[in-house]
Amino acid sequence: MARVTVLGAAGGIGQPLSLLLKTCSLVSELNLYDLRNAPGVAADVSHVNTDCRVAGFEGPAELGRALRGADLVVIPAGVPRKPGMTRDDLFGINAGIVQSLVTAVAEHCPAARLLIISNPVNSTVPIAVETLKRLGKLNAARVFGVTTLDLVRAQSFLADALGRDAHRVADLASHVTVVGGHAGRTIVPLLADAQLRELQRRGLYDSYVHRVQFGGDEVVKAKAGAGSATLSMALAGFHFAELLLRSLAGEAVAPEPAFVYLPGLPGGADLARALAATEPVDYFAAPVRLAAGDAAAVDTAFVADLAPEQRALVDAALPELAASIRKGVDFVHAPKAR
């Protein structure tokens, strides 16, 4: 049974994510932290009829207590996207939030697994890793950027493209994965050959790829100033958290994509080498093998299997991804240059 802390629990993602975690039988204690309204959210969620204990913590003075003893810390804290903003526009605000929260994690629960949801993930994960490294507390097997929403969208949109009448999402799920990063063109959906050819035959492949890469914009636009994807993101974050908790409990789970620090993981250097045709990167979203709640290895096999169209998408992703990673690393190591 695991103790889970959500940082940013009163937000648009944090609230439904906290609710879902309350329904998870693998969670025994749920600590909900935010700068505002955390006790209210905790009181509400605590009434859900499951055994997990819920507590609310508000403001920096309570952050340490919220974190102490946590096995898993999920971070959706930050500011959301508004229309016309890219995930990178969030950098200036969310970078500092993630850095300060991760510093508190290093102090109060350094062994906890860390799931980073705050965008831009392509930069906030490097900020988390470099912050922990600086503090001498990095265990790269325990830091994950959550990219599951890209997978959720890739599966849903594949059913949309191929026809919901003829295809069930559950049947398509194993034929698609997503690698790369978690913003725009850095998101690379990878389809099994049959689905790739079928979309091409129908002239839908390019529009499918574009929709997976920019699907978040549909939500930002539709919400018209009221925020970005929160419900689907909460579900996706919960899926990854639950998978990790199942692994932590000793269950064997299938590899799942996540944005990880390659030099810190078995297989990571091989993957970096295989990808490095254009631009070397130290971070990449790839299928990760979990064991006992840790990232045990990164899968590299997918690189050799890439169709030329898919390799072209990876090559197009790498320069933007490398720039976002550099921005995160520089935030920690060269703050005066900002």
110 binds ligand ADP (CB under 6 A): no
Instruction: Name which of 16, 75, 2 is nearest 293 in CA terms.
Output: 2
Build a one-symbol-per-residue string for 257-276: x at contacts with ligand ADP by CB under 6 A, - elsewhere.
--------------------
- When binding is defined by CB under 6 A, the residue of 4, 6, 13, 105 that contacts ligand ADP is 13
10 binds ligand ADP (CB under 6 A): yes
Cα–Cα distance measured from residue 11 to residue 80, given in angstroms and rounded to the nearest whole number: 9
**Residue list 201-230, contact with ligand ADP (CB under 6 A):** 227-228, 230
Q: Between residues 7 and 146, which has the closer beta carbon with respect to ligand ADP?
A: 7
**Scanning the structure block, which residue is given the tokens 């050959």?**
193
77 binds ligand ADP (CB under 6 A): yes
40 binds ligand ADP (CB under 6 A): no
12 binds ligand ADP (CB under 6 A): yes
Kindly report the CA angle at 252 between 246 and 253, in degrees rounded to 5? 70
Q: Between residues 11 and 255, which has the closer beta carbon with respect to ligand ADP?
A: 11
Q: Let me know if 47 is a catalytic residue.
A: no
80 binds ligand ADP (CB under 6 A): yes
Least Å distance, CB 100 to ligand ADP, is: 6
Q: Is the four-CA dihedral 167, 153, 27, 297 of positive or negative sign?
A: positive
196 binds ligand ADP (CB under 6 A): no
Per-residue b/e over 207-222, b at no fewer than 16 CB within 10 Å?
ebbebbbbbbbebbee
Kindly report the CA angle at 148 between 293 and 313, in degrees rounded to 5? 120
Least Å distance, CB 249 to ligand ADP, is: 28
Least Å distance, CB 40 to ligand ADP, is: 11
3-state SS record for 248-287? HCCCCCCCEEEEEEHHHCCCHHHHHHHHCCCCCCCEEEEE
**Scanning the structure block, which residue is given the tokens 């698609």?**
176
14 binds ligand ADP (CB under 6 A): yes
Least Å distance, CB 6 to ligand ADP, is: 9
Residue tagged active-site, from 175, 182, 210, 333: 182
Cα–Cα distance measured from residue 127 to residue 117, given in angstroms and rounded to the nearest whole number: 13
Q: Between residues 217 and 282, which has the closer beta carbon with respect to ligand ADP?
A: 217
Least Å distance, CB 38 to ligand ADP, is: 8
Least Å distance, CB 310 to ligand ADP, is: 30
Asked if 75 contacts 114 with a C-beta cutoff of 8 angstroms, the reply is yes
Q: Between residues 146 and 176, which has the closer beta carbon with respect to ligand ADP?
A: 146
Kindly report the CA angle at 78 between 209 and 189, in degrees rounded to 5? 15
Residue 169: how many other CB atoms lie within 10 Å:
14
HSE-CB at 223 with a 13 A cutoff on CA atoms is 18
Tokens of 95: 């970078």
Select from 77-85, 106-114, 127-135, 200-208 the region that touches ligand ADP (CB under 6 A).
Answer: 77-85
Q: Which residues are catalytic?
A: 182
- Name the residues that contact ligand ADP, by CB under 6 A: 7-8, 10-14, 34-36, 76-80, 97, 101, 227-228, 230
